[in-house]
Amino acid sequence: MDQGSHCTAERELFETVSTITTYSTTSPSDEEQNQPQAEISHQVRKENPEEDDPQVSSACLSPNSLMTTKELQEYWRNEKRQCRQVNLLFEIPSTRTVEHHLSKYVMYKIIILQTGSFDSNKSVIERRYSDFEKLHRNLLEEFSEEMEDVTFPRKILTGNFTAEVINERKLAFKDYLRLLYSMKYIRRSKKFIDFLTRPELQEAYGCLRGGQYTKALEILLEVIGLQERLMRGNPVSIVPTLCAIVVCYKDLEDPENAFEFGEKALSHLRRCTNHRYYIPLLETMITLAYELGKDFLSLQEKLEEWKTKKDPIRVFTLKELAVREYVQ
């Protein structure tokens, strides 16, 4: 193929991907066509809360800018993967009663499964009644219309620990989570995702700050699988967790796994080079690549390119950034 034909083919592919991407992200559904424009805009903001973050919006470049033919093809493959709906099932098979000093409460074991997957993809968390109650209260503040017909198990003064009440709540909470997840704006909301992941992340980062890297890593590896399924449409949001995993593996002297998770994190930041984790991650990846005998020159070139475009500023190391996450 001569150079003119190659340029024409590349331009046609670029225009095709741009057209398809624009259509897939802006074409309204039948339901949205009948809604006022102001309401649709409000819903878009709900669905994509990260767009309100100036750091994210300024950092992420246009997906079609300065991309080669190969990069365009890879971008479109990733877009199609992200558009697929990940369906999750919520099961509450058991409970346990906890007595701590003068308090007593029931912990509900929640198993989160991806439909059509093996048990290896399940996530297991525990929450108590007050956790569900706080979630419900927070969602009512932001999604009053969507939550209008959602019922919540009422609090009772006596009999909370009888088998009958506990079994009723197990079923009620299962239906409650299923209903919340069925509503697009709620399942993508930070409040819902925090309910499912934040307690475990707080524990993991506490272990990391205390130098308990094995324990921290164990929790983080559990959480990252759930985060990936919950935040598939916003992969940048899971970068801090991926980087914390890199820090743990690095301090446990496992550079192979550290590099593997670092590559995942770096791929999510390809168009978000202003992200606070980008440069510390690049520097860590260069160190790991050198240690493993891998190509580090391309990473070094990205780092030098970034430095020539930006004013010199103080950049934290990857570990310094990680220990600052979820500080109470």
Q: Which domains does the chain have, with CATH numbers?
A: 82-188 (3.30.1520.10), 197-327 (1.25.40.10)
Question: Residue 108: is its pLDDT beyond 90?
Answer: yes
Among 126-130, 171-175, 204-208, 309-313, name the one with the lowest average pLDDT. 309-313
Return phi, psi of residue 11, to 5°. -65, -40
What was the pLDDT predicted at 256?
A: 98
Cβ pair 224, 241 in contact under 8 A = yes
Nearest residue to 90 (alpha-carbon basis) of 166, 182, 164, 155: 182
What count of other Cβ atoms lies within 10 Å of the Cβ of residue 96?
Answer: 10
The token pair at 136 is 């419900």
Band of residue 161 on the pLDDT scale cut at 50, 70, 90: confident
Distance in angstroms (rounded) separating the CA atoms of residues 163 and 181: 27
- Which pLDDT does position 171 carry in this prediction? 95
Q: Looking at residues 27-39, what average pLDDT do you find? A: 40
Q: What is the pLDDT of residue 78?
A: 59
Least confident of 5-9, 251-255, 265-269, 315-319: 5-9
Angle, helices 190-209/239-251, rounded to nearest 10 degrees: 20
Q: Note the pLDDT tens digit of each residue in 226-278.
A: 999 999 889 999 999 999 999 999 999 999 999 999 999 999 998 898 899 99
**pLDDT, tens digit (0-9, with 9 covering 90-100), for 186-240:** 999 999 999 999 999 999 999 999 999 999 999 999 999 999 999 988 999 999 9
Q: Is the pLDDT of residue 20 over 70?
A: no
* pLDDT for residue 48 is more than 50: no
Give CB contacts under 8 A, 24+ apart, made by 60-64. 60/236, 60/271, 60/272, 61/271, 61/272, 61/273, 62/271, 63/21, 63/271, 64/14, 64/17, 64/18, 64/21
What pLDDT score was predicted for residue 306? 83
Mean residue pLDDT across the chain: 80
Tell me 110's DSSP state. E
Long-range contact pairs involving 293-296 (C-beta distance under 8 Å, separation at least 24)? 294/259
Select, from the ranges 73-87, 100-114, 199-213, the one with the highest average predicted confidence (pLDDT). 199-213
Name residues whose C-beta falls within 8 Å of residue 223's C-beta, 6 or more positions apart in sequence: 123, 197, 200, 201, 204, 241
pTM above 0.75, yes or no: no
